[in-house]
Amino acid sequence: MTHAPVRDVVIVGGGTAGWMTAAYLTAAFGDRINVTLVESADVGTIGVGEATFSDIRHFFEFLGLAERDWMPACNATYKLAVRFEDWREPGHHFYHPFEQLRSVKGFPLTDWWLRYPTSDRFDVDCFVMASLIDGNRSPRYLDNRLLEQDFVEGEAAPNTIAEYQGAQFPYAYHFEAHLLAKYLTKYATQRGVRHVVDNVVDVGLDERGWLSHVQTAEHGRLEGDLFVDCTGFRGLLLNKALEEPFVSYQDTLPNDSAVALQVPMDMDKDPIRPCTTATAQDAGWIWTIPLISRIGTGYVYARDYMDPEEAERTLRAFVGPAAADVPANHIRMRIGRSRRSWVNNCVAIGLSSGFVEPLESTGIFFIHYAIEQLVKYYPAGDWDLTLREQYNNALMNVMDGVREFLVLHYRGAKRADNQYWRDTKTRAIPDALAERLELWESKVPDTGTVYPRYHGLPPYSYNCILLGTGGIPVRPSPALDLIDEKAALAEFQAIKDKARSLVRTLPTQNAYFKRMRDGV
């Protein structure tokens, strides 16, 4: 037993989770630890064209990577929001942007908007971003300057998520996850990570039931102190070898399948929309993620309501002729989380740890958050149980919190035009969320009434979903009738002016990325 940190780390799995972990650990600890990553050439990765959270920039900053270094290699674009289409009713859309709500006289602007609606679009009236997205704008000027941030709290750029809570950076990224894994393979192996391409065929346990090694088909045993399970939905080390149970969320989030297509696009002709789009469908929703040379799209659906053939037909019809020759990728999703993500000397990161459906792009956020927590609670040879417990609580909280937020989208959606959508109104929801919904009918969500532990989603996000989906009545605070509204109306006007000026001066995404691609 020693208080010296453990040194030998074996990562099993080379998807986004495996390589993000390997790269981050080398950036954090350099050659003070030894990292081996083993990945199978036979078992594929999940990589469908991913959208992210704005916090992901801290990951790249931590690795010392500038956007120009990695974005072109990963076909990456900017994401300013999620655009929800048809969740309220056909033809309706709203944005959930990366932009904090302003407040006036102690009340969030959404509250003021409910009392004094200046149009029928709360997102356009309360956020600058909505207009930028409608104009396909880049959040950066051609000389790389970030748009003026008077409407975004906190300009400092600390390099972990935790240090950055309460502030909101104005954009995230879309990128091809498998290209990011490839990019990070180079980054990590150049910094000393040992890369083994082989199948893990067995997992060795010692007499205490801790992992002692993984057995590969051709490279013998790989021994280590700490094992990181990045084997995706298989959960080869944590769920299979250590038999850690999986806590399903399917009772509240029934979408368990997806079918994905990669549709070619021509950035010289097609506008690159700076947002992820989630379009509601008969048994779920379709994502549209614009990348530099293609669109990543897919239908997330519940098999209880639709079979895979119909889902694929629907998706192909949605995309149109561009999808005609593109093969479809059908994916079965395991929705929920491992009861504990860290058991003994095994930490699961990525899909093996947990996954909610991709509606708010939280998969890579969970990975990034998990890696930061692993560094924070990194173990010593005495394997202090308290560190593991704190890690497990942090991961449990973040996933359970996001689950609540996602359930709100379905419960809040006004549409109830078929059995799938009617069931979203009567299906059981987490008890705490049911209580919160009652509170929100009287007062829009604030820090005191949203899920109380860190889960990456500030109160303004809840405001956006409640007002946007439109199925749950919300009303303004009575106090607003007693307060002069001039300052709030002036704020609405300031947003309009600011949006107009930014749309006029910022380049389109196409122009921005053409310049980046040309290396200017």
Nearer to ligand FAD, 16 or 262 (CB): 16
CB of 169 to ligand FAD, least distance (A): 16
Q: Indicate the pairing of strand 336-338 with strand 211-216.
A: unpaired
Amino acid identity, residue 153? E
Binding site residues, ligand FAD, CB under 6 A:
12-18, 38-40, 43, 45-48, 50-52, 177, 199-200, 230-232, 234, 236, 258, 298, 331, 333, 350-351, 358, 361, 363-364, 367
CB of 285 to ligand FAD, least distance (A): 11
Our CB check for ligand FAD shows the closer of 107 and 171 to be: 171
Burial of 352 (0-12, 13-18, 19+ CB in 10 A): buried
Q: How far is the CB of 180 from ligand FAD (least distance, A)?
A: 9
What are the strands of the beta sheet with 200-205, ordered from one edge?
200-205, 211-216, 221-223
* Phi, psi for 332 (deg, rounded to 5): -95, 130
Flag whether 39 is marked binding.
no
Residue with tokens 């947002």: 275
**Would strands 50-51 and 211-216 be described as parallel, antiparallel, or unpaired?**
unpaired
Count of other CB atoms within 10 angstroms of residue 477: 18
Q: Assess whether 79 carries a catalytic annotation.
A: yes
Q: Give the Cα separation of 39 and 45 in Å (integer).
A: 10
Q: Is 161 labeled as ligand-binding? A: no
Burial of 515 (0-12, 13-18, 19+ CB in 10 A): middle
Tokens representing residue 293 in the block: 């040379």
Min CB(75)–ligand FAD separation in Å: 14
Q: What radius of gyration, in Å, describes the C-alpha atoms of the chain?
A: 23
d(CA 12, CA 348): 10
Q: How far is the CB of 35 from ligand FAD (least distance, A)?
A: 15
Q: Which is nearer to ligand FAD, 219 or 427 (CB)?
A: 219
> Which amino acid belongs to residue 334?
R
User: Is residue 216 marked as binding?
Assistant: no
- Provide, rounded to whole angstroms, the least separation between the CB of residue 25 and ligand FAD: 15
Task: Pull the structure tokens for residue 240.
Answer: 């299979």
Is 182 among the annotated ligand-binding positions? no
Identify which of residues 203 and 444 has a Cβ nearer to ligand FAD in the complex. Answer: 203
Q: Say which of 79, 105, 240, 269 is annotated catalytic.
A: 79
- State in Å, rounded, how far the first CA of the chain is from the last one: 56
Nearest residue to 242 (alpha-carbon basis) of 278, 219, 212: 212
Any known ligand binding at 465?
Answer: no
- Helices 56-63 and 363-376 cross at an angle (nearest 10°) of 50
Q: Which is nearer to ligand FAD, 7 or 234 (CB)?
A: 234
Reduce the DSSP state of residue 346 to 3 states and report it: strand
Answer whether 492's CB lies under 8 Å from 118's CB.
Answer: yes
Which lies closer to ligand FAD via its Cβ, residue 344 or residue 361? 361
18 annotated ligand-binding residue: no
The answer to whether 351 is annotated as binding is yes
The verdict on whether residue 259 carries a ligand-binding annotation is no
Q: Which residues are annotated as a binding site for L-tryptophan?
A: 360
Annotated binding residues for 7-chloro-L-tryptophan, written as ranges, equal 79
Q: Which residues are catalytic?
A: 79
Known binding-site residues for FAD equal 14-17, 200, 351, 364
Binding region: 14-17, 79, 200, 351, 360, 364
